[in-house]
Amino acid sequence: MKIQLASSYGFCFGVKRAIKIAEEHQGSKTYGPLIHNKDEINRLKEGFNIGLAEKLEDVDRRDAVVIRTHGIPKDELAQLKAQENEIIDATCPYVTTPQNIVAQMSEKGYSIVIFGDKNHPEIKGVVSYAKDQQNAFIVADVKELDGLPILSKVAVVAQTTRKPEDFLKVVNALIPHHKEVRVFNTICNATFENQDAAAELAKDADVMIVIGGKHSSNTKQLHSICKSYCSDSYLIENETELNTSWFKGKRLCGISAGASTPDWIVQNVIDTIQSMVRVEEVGKSE
């Protein structure tokens, strides 16, 4: 069996930047998981003494606090500043962009429509920058637009990891019903590249392994895309979740990884698959 990596996969610019920032501030705490990858978070904890504060109560006064790549709500950032914490901002620049757009457009009296997952930390942060929370709407699907009290002027942004074609559906549904629709394409380019590369590989593969955090939006999107082309597509966090049976009789195993997945985990997965395939082949020959 041949193993082939997608032409684009793994760590994006924002994650690489955040990891570097955290490594340069040993002994600090991240507010919320820095990225959606528990193995990489453990590496930072063990190798760089980076702590984790899950909630504001876990942050001691004047702690050095690293803001996660997804950003945090505006009021929580203000509270950290008020208690004199050292703020080390590792928010991805692609996430601060929709934050700034929401702040500016809501100040100008526009309704805000955010296409994304209301429970995702990125979106919780983005919506908090709206001047009027009653005039900001989060939708995960075009159907959720029905009945919303959106003004005649509306500005639209998207979660950085969403599919462009789904974002376009939301935009197209708004245009006929509103006098002015300002569209800001805030989907990350790295997301496009990883998704396109995964789709191309999945078309040829007999089995696809997608590596990344189970709570990672972009990783779940990758898995969904791969599954649409290759029914035997599996989402794993690391090599311990691999199953030998997945590779029996397979010709080509494709591998992709989410934006929060480091190369060392990808390599561990490849090494384990190679070991599994060799063991199976030895058993057959015996």
Domains and CATH numbers, the chain: 2-9+189-285 (3.40.1010.20), 13-92 (3.40.50.11270), 94-183 (3.40.1010.20)
Q: Is the pLDDT of residue 96 over 80?
A: yes
Structure token pair of residue 268: 């561990």
50-59, 120-129, 258-267, 270-279: which has the minimum mean pLDDT?
270-279
pLDDT band at 164 (very low <50, low <70, confident <90, very high): confident
**In the predicted structure, residue 229 carries a pLDDT above the cut 60:** yes
Choosing from 40, 76, 122, 239, which is the catalytic residue? 122
What local confidence, expressed as pLDDT, does residue 286 receive?
A: 36
For residue 282, what pLDDT is reported? 44
Question: What pLDDT does 277 receive?
Answer: 87
Angle between helices 38-48 and 13-23 (to 10 degrees): 20
pLDDT for residue 285: 36
CA–CA gap between residue 55 and residue 42 (Å, rounded): 18
Residue where the block lists tokens 């978070």: 41
275 is known to lie in a ligand binding site: no
Q: What is the pLDDT of residue 2?
A: 94
Which among 94, 249, 242, 69 has a CA at the least distance from the CA of 160? 94
Residue 233 CB contacts under 8 Å (≥ 6 apart), including other chains: 202, 207, 208, 209, 210, 223, 226, 227
pLDDT for the residue numbered 232: 98
On whether 217 is known to bind a ligand per the annotation, the reply is yes
111 labelled ligand-binding = no
- How far is 202 from 163, CA to CA, in rounded Å? 17
Question: Is residue 84 among the annotated active site residues?
Answer: no
Average pLDDT over residues 248-268: 95
- The reported pLDDT for the residue numbered 107 is 97
Q: How many CB atoms lie within 10 A of CB 111?
A: 24
